[in-house]
Structure 1
Amino acid sequence: MSDIKEVVQKIMEVNFKFDTDVSVLVVTDMSTKDLGSAFHQALHELGWETYIHVMEDRNKSGEEPDAHIAKEMLNHGIVFCLTKHSLTHTVARRHASEQGISVITMPGINEDIFLHGAINADYDRVEQETNEIVALLTSHEKVTIESGDGLTLRIPIGERKGVPSTGVFHKKGDSGNLPSGEAYIAPLEGEAEGEIEINGSIAGIGLVHEPVILKIAAGRLVHASGEVGQKLMDILGEGDGRLLAELGIGTNHAARVTGNILEDEKAKNTIHVAFGSNHTFGGVIKTDVHIDCVTKSPGVIWES
């Protein structure tokens, strides 16, 4: 508990650049309630006014929280979501952020990630390097990802803006993951073409022990190799869940690839593509799933 309290104190003092003298809500679920409860207790012992809600596990990332929890999120200045699946790309999170509430999502968080790895990064460095990649995303119209044995995935992004997830929150309403460190963007829907090797991990599945080849045509996942690929297709469903929703680039020098997407997608020298919802960060896809797929050691070609 003392180690957890030290990390919580560091988060509240280092990662927030605004006055945190506000009420704090901890949203957790049955899978994560032990760590969520310890997080809540640490906040209480450190002097914050804090509340906790435990909900049933969601079935997949991007699924909305219970309506009463979504409503309760609007009553606090900071909301921490320590849950099995991600609430980042939900209407509930977006509405809270629009009301000036900082929602910090920690999907898949466990004690190892909470105490080690990416959480201990130099977040000044992470912020600087993330913003540099965001500038590249914003100033280019297309990104080509090279992976595997000559595979290429061409991703048009047009004039859309890159989004920073730095883990540093400067004003009320700033939201994002912790631990963090990525720059991401919503590609132009229906335009990506090519193939990519996923050799890191897949959200909800874990580490990929044999590379999975994804084929994307007209911005839609049309084939994924092997048993793991079929499992991914099943999670995404037959509808808009298979649309390419995100290109992300990891920027956290302390992050590891361990099979937990919360940390994996933040690791430097990785990229990730995601399928499903992107309406919360500049796209137009609205569905109840968002699944990230991580590739280690890719080639990245920027095109104007």
Structure 2
Amino acid sequence: MSDELSAAELVALVRRAFLPSERDRSLAFLVDVPASAEADNPAWRQRRQLAADWAGKLAGAGDELGLGVRLVFYEAVGANNADLPGQACYHPGGRLPTSAAELAGLPQVALEQVLADNDILIAPTEYSATAPLKLAAPRLGFRAATMPGFSPSMVAALRIDYGEVNRRVELLSGLLTRAQAAEIEFSVTGGQFCRLFLDLRRRRAHSSGGFFPRPGNAGNLPSGESYIVPYEGEEDPSRSSGLLPVQFGDEVVYYRIENNRAREVEGDGPAATREAEHLRREPAYGNLAELGLGVLGDFGLEPSGEILLDEKLGLHIAFGRSDHFGGQVGAKDFSSPREVVHIDRVYVPQLQPDVEVSSARLVIPGEEAIQLIRDGRYVVDFSSAEPVS
């Protein structure tokens, strides 16, 4: 099947994801451009062109869709989930800008005004805008689908049955919200057997199932995960603790977790040295920011090399920023905007072949522990979830 979406498919995607109503007037594509031509790359250029193509197709279907369609560019912030710049430009048509220098000659508008003036936003960016858009959406009333790192190879993930995806995600979110803890065991080929306890008290899970029907909502597309921020110790010490393995290339690095923070790195290779230095330089990087449960691996999708899709394939654990998910660690906790990070480590065989989630259980007060994963595969009964229309 083609890796290009037709105008009819794009209209159907917008209708399914956002459920536009007569109150909605405008849809904008929000796209970052490199600070300089030297910072550009082929995938980024392709993504900007894809955004322009999609905007053109939807604009051509404006009468059918009932929305004005605009293309907005802003200078890239240089880091995933960092705060967005103050200014942006509506594209006047014609040649696409290749760097921030070319934006300087266009009329500037406050980016916050862009967000307030458009009911629906789609953000196929190089650097993830998920965190700032999730924080701004409830205040400004837009809804947004963020697509950092999107490539044509991911188009197949936009064509799957999102009713079934959302059904599974909602079931997992219900379980995560009821749970007080997650107990995860990892098997490492030729290495240590690791256990991680995640404190889930005082937290609610979130669903990313591909639907953004209400103003104030923002999330990824493609979608397909339930996620929760472990308790970070706001009132009393977090109970999150244990040993977390992450594979980088051929090397497995071990993080010693205490009070929901990576306190120490174990390992002899270059990745361990690099990670230890990162923790020393930016202690907020060590915050366990998310336990995510992706479901798209059961829909026949494979890793793309971009976290936008890859994290939706299975269990993942994120380090760093968490305030956009309801946690406490935000941009203020890092030394500079360019150091702000929320980075997922995804536990599927194609990405971490030497590390397997041998068991993942949820501890729910007054109930028997619920086994989610055994030997790298979901064993939870998804058939018990109610269908989503």
User: Structure 2 vs 1, CA of residues 99 and 46 (structure 1 numbering), >3 Å: closer, same or farther?
Assistant: same
**Which residue in 2 is equivalent to 1:257?**
303
Q: Within the alignment, does 1:295 sit opposite 2:353 as a pair?
A: no
User: Structure 2 vs 1, CA of residues 35 and 193 (structure 1 numbering), >3 Å: closer, same or farther?
Assistant: same
Q: Percent identity?
A: 26
User: Structure 2 vs 1, CA of residues 74 and 216 (structure 1 numbering), >3 Å: closer, same or farther?
Assistant: same
Answer whether contact 1:140 1:157 (CA < 8 A) is retained. yes
Find the aligned partners of 1:271 and 1:198 in 2 and give their Cα distance: 13
Find the aligned partners of 2:139 and 2:179 in 1 and give their Cα distance: 28
User: Structure 2 vs 1, CA of residues 196 and 12 (structure 1 numbering), >3 Å: closer, same or farther?
Assistant: same
Find the aligned partners of 1:125 and 1:2 in 2 and give their Cα distance: 23
Q: Secondary structure at the match of 2:166?
A: helix
Q: Within the alignment, does 1:161 sit opposite 2:221 as a pair?
A: no
Counterparts in 2 of 1:1-304, with a 5 A limit? 3-19=5-21, 21-30=24-33, 31=44, 32-47=47-62, 48-68=67-87, 69-90=111-132, 92-113=133-154, 115-116=155-156, 118-149=157-188, 150-190=193-233, 191=238, 192-199=240-247, 208=249, 210-221=251-262, 222-223=264-265, 225=267, 226-231=269-274, 237-252=281-296, 253-254=298-299, 255-267=301-313, 270-287=314-331, 288-296=340-348, 298=357, 299-304=359-364
Answer whether contact 1:106 1:262 (CA < 8 A) is retained. yes
**Which residue in 1 is equivalent to 2:351?**
none
Find the aligned partners of 2:50 and 2:161 in 1 and give their Cα distance: 23
Equivalenced residues, count: 292
User: Structure 2 vs 1, CA of residues 2 and 271 (structure 1 numbering), >3 Å: closer, same or farther?
Assistant: closer
Find the aligned partners of 1:186 and 1:233 in 2 and give their Cα distance: 23
Cα distance per residue 1:172-229 (max 9 Å; x no partner): 3332110001000111115321122335xxxxxxx85544433322221232644345
Find the aligned partners of 1:19 and 1:103 in 2 and give their Cα distance: 15
Q: Secondary structure at the match of 1:258?
A: coil
Find the aligned partners of 2:10 and 2:253 in 1 and give their Cα distance: 37
Cα distance per residue 1:283-304 (max 9 Å; x no partner): 1111232111111252211113
Stretch deviating more after TM superposition (14-23 or 240-249): 14-23
Find the aligned partners of 1:243 and 1:143 in 2 and give their Cα distance: 16
Amino acid at match of 1:279: D
Find the aligned partners of 1:4 and 1:229 in 2 and give their Cα distance: 46
Could you list the runs of 5+ residues in structure 1 that have no partner in the other structure?
A: 200-206
Cα distance per residue 1:50-80 (max 9 Å; x no partner): 1112223332211111112233111110011
Find the aligned partners of 1:215 and 1:84 in 2 and give their Cα distance: 31
Answer whether contact 1:161 1:185 (CA < 8 A) is retained. yes
Find the aligned partners of 2:112 and 2:285 in 1 and give their Cα distance: 23
User: Structure 2 vs 1, CA of residues 124 and 235 (structure 1 numbering), >3 Å: closer, same or farther?
Assistant: farther
Cα distance per residue 1:135-178 (max 9 Å; x no partner): 11011100012212321111001031111111112323332110
User: Structure 2 vs 1, CA of residues 193 and 145 (structure 1 numbering), >3 Å: closer, same or farther?
Assistant: same
Answer whether contact 1:18 1:169 (CA < 8 A) is retained. no
Amino acid at match of 1:169: F
Find the aligned partners of 1:35 and 1:229 in 2 and give their Cα distance: 38
What is the TM-score normalised by the length of structure 2? 0.69
User: Structure 2 vs 1, CA of residues 168 and 230 (structure 1 numbering), >3 Å: closer, same or farther?
Assistant: farther
Find the aligned partners of 1:224 and 1:50 in 2 and give their Cα distance: 51
User: Structure 2 vs 1, CA of residues 106 and 4 (structure 1 numbering), >3 Å: closer, same or farther?
Assistant: farther
Answer whether contact 1:15 1:168 (CA < 8 A) is retained. yes
User: Structure 2 vs 1, CA of residues 58 and 243 (structure 1 numbering), >3 Å: closer, same or farther?
Assistant: same
Find the aligned partners of 1:2 and 1:258 in 2 and give their Cα distance: 16
Amino acid at match of 1:103: A
Find the aligned partners of 1:179 and 1:151 in 2 and give their Cα distance: 31
RMSD: 2.3
Amino acid at match of 1:50: V
Find the aligned partners of 2:52 and 2:178 in 1 and give their Cα distance: 43
Q: Secondary structure at the match of 2:324?
A: coil
Stretch deviating more after TM superposition (291-300 or 71-80): 291-300
